[in-house]
Every structure is written in C-alpha cells, then in structure tokens.
Structure 1
Amino acid sequence: MTAGPADSFREYVHARLGALVRAAFLLTGDSYLAEDLVQQTLAKVASRWEQIVADGNPDAYVRRVLYHQHVSWWRRWRREPLPVAAVPEVAGADPHGPTTTAIAIRQALAKLAPRQRAVLVLRYFEDLTEAQTAQVLGVSTGTVKSQARDALARLRAVAPELADLQEVSK
C-alpha cells in the first residue's frame, strides 16, 4: 500500500515544522504570531499538496507561501503599538550569554521594517542567495540588495551592541 497525499503532507509537516516555526518567529518576533503564520501557510498548501509534491520542490514552495503570507499580514496590519497591562522588562545584550544575545537580536530585528526583516531572515538565516530571496519575495534582485543594505545600516544605528557579535564570529 502506497502513501497518499495526506500521509506525504503529514510526513513533511512532521519533518519541517520546527524550521518553519523558527523562520516565522524571526519574521514576526512573536511565538504566537509565528505559529499562526505557519498554520495559515500549511492550510494554504494542504489543498494543493499533491500538485506541489509533483512539481518537485515542496520546501521552496512552502517557504515562498510563508513569506508571502507574512508580507500580506504587514501590508494589511499597521504596526501600531497595542496597549498592554504591564510593560515587559528589557534585557541588555550580554556578549557571553547566548540567551541574552538571542534577545538582543530579536529586539533589533523588531526595529526593522517587515520587508527588511524578511530580506535579512531569508539571506542570513535561511542562507538564500540574492536571486533566491528575490524570487521568494517576488521582488527584483536590486530590491533585495538595497533592502539588505538599508536593514544592516539600520541595525548598526539602532543596535550597536550587535557589532560585538560580528567581531566574535570572525
């Protein structure tokens, strides 16, 4: 008995869910929004799964849907601060602590425009080329280059503590 499309989809989700949620988290900066983004993405691709698998590269297709879904979110929603009962405490960056470094990176990414954040996540987290990033986002390669340049310049301005990370990684 051969596995059907539902089994194939279930296996794909089981194997790739962690990576999809991580990428979504880097895009949204919020674990709940990341889960919602992945859920909406998987709901969109589930109905076409057999065709997606037949095309030969389901991972690229799912990632593209994920990033397009994120783009549609930030086009639709204005990034206005929402009222909260208590303001969370902000931790400073500690170059020796991986947890505080991760927090500093997340806070810095949150200061970028959504398109800039998407470009940086695709280029440096997903390790895609400029051409692949442009294809996923549906923009030109020049747009990817300029968005990456502007995003990195903005990160240098708003999060100078991240410069220490670059020196440590060399």
Structure 2
Amino acid sequence: MGDRQVARDARRAREFEAFVAGAAGRLLHAAMLLTAEAPDASPRARRLLTLALAHTYARWDRLRGEDPYDCARQYLATRFARTTWHRYGAFGRARPDPRSPLAALAPRERLVLVLRFYEGVAEEQTAALLGLPAERVHTICDRATADVLHPARPVAPGAADTGAAPS
C-alpha cells in the first residue's frame, strides 16, 4: 500500500470520526423515538444507529458533496420502516416502552412525526422517502400530532361497567 493510500485512509477515518462525534447523539435520539425505547434500554435503536453509520461509512468516498447526515438519516428511516414491516407486518406494533413520549403511536406515525418535526424533513421529502403521497403524509402527521398533544384518557375503573361517564 502506498503512502498516498495510507494518508487517504487516515483522512477518511478522521473525517468519519468527526462526523460520528457530531451526529451520533442526534441520530440515536431519533432512533429511540422511532423504536419508542427507553434511553437505558434501547437495543433496537442502537442497532439502527450502527447500521446507519456503517452504511454511511461504506458510502463515504462516494458522497461527493451529499450531506452524510442526510444519508444516515435516510438509511435509519428506511431500515426502520422495512424491519417494522417485515417483523410485525404492515407496520404492526412492537412493544414500545410506556415511558417513551411516542409509545402510543403506531410505527408509521412515529416515523412520519420524527422525520417531520424532530428532523425537520419537508412533507414532500418525507413522502418521497416513504413512497407515500404527500397528502397521506400530511394526514398521518396531523393524526399523530393530535394523538401526542391530546392523548386519550383512560377509562375510569367501574365507569365502563356501569355506562357512566368518567368524572
């Protein structure tokens, strides 16, 4: 291996390490919001992050002006969507941690909400990334936002049995 190759590999490693130092925390937080896992117990989120960073590192030399964060975020989102669909069928439910602020949402709703509000991805870009019409993304986002801001109240014990309204 020549000196140039060694220098190029060292520069690539330094650049990627700097990227990871700046982006990994935010990407992990996004992954934890997607998986609805608690910070102290987040194996699925950590796996998503590891896969997204590995994918970004493999493409590092070919990014040519593309934003590496955008590359990692796209991979994180599409991998989450694919694995959720594959494992649980049609965006079925994994068992979210009840401490997660997005635990009550379905995976697709979490995905849209995280991309739109936490990551600031435009509605049209979110739609393109997920292969959905923009109107559908808008509807999902509105419904998920309403569910997070105004969660359904649990029925009081005994109220369901008597037909009485909760007080």
Do these two structures clear the TM 0.5 threshold for a shared fold by scoring above it?
Answer: yes
User: What do the CA deviations read for 1:6-54 (whole angstroms, capped 9, x no partner)?
Assistant: 22212111111101001111111122221111001112222111112x1
- Aligned equivalent of 1:49: 60
Match of 2:133 among 124, 131, 140: 140
Aligned partner of 1:12 in structure 2 is: 19
**RMSD in angstroms over aligned alpha carbons?**
2.7
> Partners in 1 of 2:153 and 2:114 — Cα distance?
19
Structure 1 distance, partners of 2:138, 2:27, is 24
Note the 1:1-170 alignment, pairs <5 A: 4-30=11-37, 31-52=42-63, 54-78=64-88, 79=93, 103=99, 106-107=100-101, 109-155=102-148, 158-159=151-152
Deviation at 1:68, TM superposition (A): 0.5
* TM-score normalised by structure 1 residue count: 0.69
Mapped to 2, the partners of 1:80 and 1:64 lie a distance apart of 21
Asked if 2 retains the 8 angstrom alpha-carbon contact of 1:28 and 1:34, the reply is: yes
User: Counterpart amino acid of 1:23?
Assistant: A
Runs ≥4 residues deviating over 4 A: none
Are the counterparts in 2 of residues 63 and 136 from structure 1 also a CA contact under 8 Å? no
> What SS class does the counterpart of residue 132 from structure 2 fall into?
coil
How many corresponding residue pairs? 139
Code of the residue aligned with 2:75 in structure 1: it is: V
**8 A contact 2:127–2:134 mirrored in 1:** yes
Q: CA deviation at 1:160?
A: 5.5
Identity %: 32
Higher-helix-fraction structure: 1
Deviations 1:52-84 (A, max 9, x none): 2x14222111111110011011111123559xx
What one-letter code is carried by the residue in structure 2 that aligns with 1:11?
A
